[in-house]
Amino acid sequence: MNIKFVVVGKLKEKYFKQGIAEYAKRLSRFCKFSIVEVPDEKAPENLSQAEMDQVMAAEGERILSKIKDREYVFALAILGKERSSEEFAKELKDLTTYGHSDITFVIGGSLGLTPAVLKRANTQISFGRFTLPHQLMRLVLTEQVYRAFMINEGSPYHK
């Protein structure tokens, strides 16, 4: 199984990098894990809606260029479907059971994801209605993917 994150922007904070590296190491038992970063657009404060759309469109094109047709895509979106850790684990297990071995998660930039990226996604997933920095979301998502594998193998990690 291949798990890939396509994310907008570079991770600068050492503590996030360390946390993600730890979970990536743990995930290597279960899957081939990778993170693909696409450049973010410079977006100064007080952009007009048209300028925001332009920024999102540029980032969206970069994201879509990193996704292959066969990949099953989860788009992280505030309005996506919330799942419990157990529901998420079952969903990942079911996907692999039904032939989806390439699973991709998309985390947009500070303005979110374009309709084109959301349309390409097979499903949208939400971690609640909080707005989180996308750097922190990478760490949270990495941990939740690891947790899903641990749930599926019946490990006490989840408790």
Extract the annotated binding site for S-adenosyl-L-methionine.
76, 108
112: which DSSP letter? Answer: B
Contact 53, 115 (CB under 8 A): no
Within 8 A by CB and 6+ apart from 101, the residues are 1, 2
Contact 94, 148 (CB under 8 A): no
Known binding-site residues equal 76, 108
d(CA 120, CA 63): 10
